[in-house]
Chains A and B, each alone.
Chain A
Amino acid sequence: MAEIEWPWQYSFPPFFTLQPHTDTRAKQLSAWKSLILEYYRVTKQAIVDIREVDSCPLFNNTAINRKLPSEVVLLVLEELAKSGNANPLDKSRQRWLVYWHTLEEW
């Protein structure tokens, strides 16, 4: 597995708390979106299972002891789905397929 170069946000603790301020949250979510895409491209994975995010270094930064709550993971994935970069695999929205490039781009 190739190593990913983490962005500065990854070691910034507030990155792992959903921000209530509208503008801040928009910035935060877009940072998360690009980080998820980058991560899945580098590690060559495609499936996110929300039940297993705790074990994934992407959502769980052990170095600063913070992890992204699963509701927020779901929120980011829904954001990704809006831009065509993700799709739920089941009705309960627990498993998601992540596209490094949107289908249109292919």
Chain B
Amino acid sequence: PQIKTRTGIIGIERSLQEKQKATDESISMAFQDLKKLMEMAKDMVSISKTISAKIRERQGDITEDETVRFKSYLMSLGIDDPVTRDAYKNSNEYFKQLAKQLANILEEPIKVNIPYSHYYTYNTLQYLVNSILQEVGGMMTLTDVYCRVNRARGLELLSPEDLLNASRQLALLGLPIVLRVFDSGVMVLQIRSHDDNTIVDVIADLIKEKGSLTAEELAQSEGISVLLARERLLVTEKRGKACRDDTIEALRFYPNLFLEKDD
């Protein structure tokens, strides 16, 4: 048998080589396993496709429970097949539960500040829920929510699609927060009782007070994100309470003198 030299450069080189060989082996093993796994998954995909074809044939003959279960199978496989599934069930049970949890998570930031008591009346609870998002202005962009939720979770993170789908369920479930999509495509979660009119009035007054405002200035004075400040100004403009001055320097918003001044 070969004698292993442990000393000298040859010894070091040899031990390095051996290590490399070992890692090589484990890597190729891992890939072989992956391949097998993928083959299994392929079978699952083809099975689920035939099932969805069957569902289509029978047109609502199947109980709701069955479609729900089927959907969660698809979810766990990572196959998104909404075109064929949407007709049978508006969304997955998983998203509904997630939506409920979202509502809970977003309530927490204030709950921490208020001493817990069993004696909260329904009204105070409602008030608490509403002040959740009020802490951040009654509104949070979906990206911020994504950060907040995932940072709180640590493990078993949410995918962006999961969050979006869960958010779509919020309104249907009657939870205190709802998803809102602005004209610009920016998506936010806002408290259900959020009223654009009051915001618009506040912003309009603020613009009048300052003479004119940019989104950055509003963001700073109100302590909200620039993105949301911009959306607020745009909503105010849409209601005819502001008008814009678009220059190289910035997009400024002025009181809408065109409509307010009568000539």
Q: Which residues on A are within 8 Å of B, measured CB to CB?
A: 7-9, 12-14, 16-17, 19-21, 23-24, 27-28, 31, 66
Contact = CB atoms under 8 A, between A and B. Distances in A.
Given A14-B254, A27-B258, A27-B259, A20 B237 contact: yes
Nearest to A34: B263
Nearest to B261: A8
B230 to A, nearest CB: 14
The 7 closest A-B pairs by CB, nearest first: A13-B245, A27-B258, A17-B246, A14-B243, A14-B245, A14-B254, A24-B258
B257 interface: yes
Of the listed residues B237, B238, B245, B261, the one surrounded by the most CB atoms of chain A closer than 10 A to its CB is B245
Nearest to B238: A21
B240 A14 contact: no
Contacts of B238: 21
B232 interface: no
Contacts of A13: 212, 245, 247, 252, 254
Contacts of B48: none
Contacts of A28: 243, 258
B261 A19 contact: no
B245 A23 contact: no
Nearest to B237: A21
Contact of A12 (B237, B246, B257, B263): B257
